[in-house]
Amino acid sequence: MDTVATDSTEYITTVLARLEECYGVAQWHPRLGPLDELIACILSQHTSDVNSGRAFERLKRRYASWHEVATAPTQELIETIRCAGMAETKGPRIQNVLQLIREQQGDYTLDFLRDLPDEEARAYLMSLPGVGPKTAAIVLSFALGRPVMPVDTHIFRVSWRLGLIEKKIGEAKAHDVLQARIPPELIYRFHVALITHGRQVCRAPVPRCDACVLTDLCRHFNST
CB 123 within 8 Å of CB 160: no
Whether residue 205 has a cis bond before it, omega within 30° of 0: yes
Residue 36 pLDDT level (bands cut at 50, 70, 90): very high
Model pLDDT, residue 3: 47
The pTM score is 0.89
Closest C-alpha to 175, from 185, 190, 144: 190
CA distance 122 to 139: 9
Query: In the 8-state DSSP scheme, what is residue 113?
Result: G
Model pLDDT, residue 164: 94
CB 156 within 8 Å of CB 149: no
Q: What is the mean pLDDT of residues 88-99?
A: 97
Model pLDDT, residue 224: 80
pLDDT in tens, 165-224: 999 999 889 999 999 999 999 999 999 999 999 999 999 999 999 999 999 999 999 988
Q: What are phi and psi of 208, to 5 degrees?
A: -90, 70
Query: In the 8-state DSSP scheme, what is residue 140?
Result: I
Has 90 been annotated as catalytic?
no
Model pLDDT, residue 38: 98
pLDDT in tens, 113-131: 999 999 999 999 999 999 9
CB 43 within 8 Å of CB 56: yes
Model pLDDT, residue 201: 97
Residue 31 pLDDT level (bands cut at 50, 70, 90): confident
CA distance 118 to 198: 27
pLDDT of 2 > 50? The answer is: no
CA distance 65 to 59: 10
Amino acid at 188: Y
CA distance 159 to 76: 41
Share of the chain above pLDDT 90, in %: 90
Residue 1 pLDDT level (bands cut at 50, 70, 90): very low
Residue 5 pLDDT level (bands cut at 50, 70, 90): low
Q: Which domains does the chain have, with CATH numbers?
A: 3-27+149-223 (1.10.1670.10), 34-143 (1.10.340.30)
Catalytic choice (134, 167, 168, 173): 134
CB 179 within 8 Å of CB 151: no
End-to-end CA distance of the chain: 13
Positive or negative, the Cα torsion across 78, 83, 88, 92?
Answer: negative
Mean pLDDT in the chain?
94
pLDDT of 157 > 90? The answer is: yes
